[in-house]
Chain A
Amino acid sequence: MLQLQGGAQKELERIQGVLAQGKTLQEARQEQSVFRYRDKFNDFAEIAAARSDARPVFDFLEAYTHPRVVFTTVNLEPKLRKLKLAGSTQDFRTLQEQMVIFQNREELIGLTLSSIVLGEKGQVGFQLEMGFQL
């Protein structure tokens, strides 16, 4: 019985010693590396899922800009899907036609026309703000 108890005690001390040492340097490095990649995979997946493509907005403008409207300034925030435009056209009628073209497009969420200015040579300046669901 004493012999058994002594053996068990020694084994217990050995295991306690191993546990007390904690992680080896290699184990700690490996653990850190695995955690880093786990976080990196998650971040990568999150960023990839949230990526936005600005090109469809330009395709949209090319397809649905009135032939007599010129956009002089473009300001696009692809992540927010927001587009601000400054433009000019020959007359109010053309501007109205442009508005109708845009208003009939399902790709747009919200369309705000502002800063309508009549120029010295009769041209009409304006600003447009719109959201996209592309």
Chain B
Amino acid sequence: MALPRFQAFSVIQKELDVKRAELASKESYFAHIKDVQGRINAQALVAKIDAAIPNDAQLPAFHEFMQSIAAESGLSLRSITTSQTLPAQGTRLLRIGASLQLGGSYEGLKVFLSNLLRASRMTDIDSISFSSSQLGTGFVFNVRTVSYSY
């Protein structure tokens, strides 16, 4: 009589051990996630990465960013058009293409390139084209850039 009861208890006990292990694993996983989140929050690098790749496109801020980089470089931003490319499958990275027309000097262009490389918002140059200026009126630079957001 005691043997079947023991067998039933043994089955429950084994299942209990399995479920306890499963629960411990889940708790350990989320404790790890919490720990990682805490370490992420504590890192100054996160703020830099969030500035480089903001969590949304922030297009008006992006236009202002380009305008200020141009102005700091001694160039005038004559026009800017932007277009967004949706993230590829399996990624969250959004690409923001911009076509800029900038007016100014050749030296200004080189300063612009330096400033863009050092800027907080990560922006890469896709292409630069310009023709020789006429009658000393300065150059018109056509610059295509790509920036990113999440």
* Residues of chain B within 8 A of A52, CB atoms compared: 124-125
- Does A30 lie within 8 Å of B30, measured CB to CB? yes
Does chain B have a CB within 8 A of A70? Answer: yes
- Does B122 lie within 8 Å of A39, measured CB to CB? no
- Does B113 lie within 8 Å of A55, measured CB to CB? yes
Q: Within the assembled complex, what's the spacing in Å between the Cα atoms of A18 and B22?
A: 11
Does chain B have a CB within 8 A of A121? Answer: no
Beta-carbon contacts of A1-38 to B below 8 Å, as 1s and 0s?
A: 11011001101100110110001000100110110110
Partner of A43, one of B12, B19, B26, B91: B91
- Does A30 lie within 8 Å of B16, measured CB to CB? no
Does chain A have a CB within 8 A of B78? Answer: no
- Does A54 lie within 8 Å of B13, measured CB to CB? no
Determine chain B's interface SS by DSSP, over half rule.
Answer: helix
* Residues of chain A within 8 A of B16, CB atoms compared: 8, 11-12, 15
- Does B49 lie within 8 Å of A40, measured CB to CB? yes
Partner of B129, one of A8, A36, A48, A73: A73
Which A39-86 residues have C-beta < 8 A from chain B?
39-41, 43-44, 47-48, 50-55, 58, 70-79
- Does B40 lie within 8 Å of A37, measured CB to CB? yes
The answer to whether A19 and B91 touch (CB under 8 A), given A1-B2, A43-B53, is: no
Q: Within the assembled complex, what's the spacing in Å between the Cα atoms of A78 and B116?
A: 14
- Does B92 lie within 8 Å of A76, measured CB to CB? no
* Residues of chain A within 8 A of B127, CB atoms compared: 75-78
* Residues of chain A within 8 A of B126, CB atoms compared: 77-79
- Does B37 lie within 8 Å of A12, measured CB to CB? no
The 24 listed contacts between A and B (C-beta, < 8 Å) are A1-B6, A8-B12, A15-B20, A18-B23, A27-B30, A30-B33, A30-B34, A31-B30, A34-B33, A34-B37, A36-B92, A37-B46, A39-B92, A40-B92, A44-B52, A47-B53, A51-B124, A58-B110, A71-B132, A73-B131, A74-B128, A78-B124, A78-B127, A79-B125
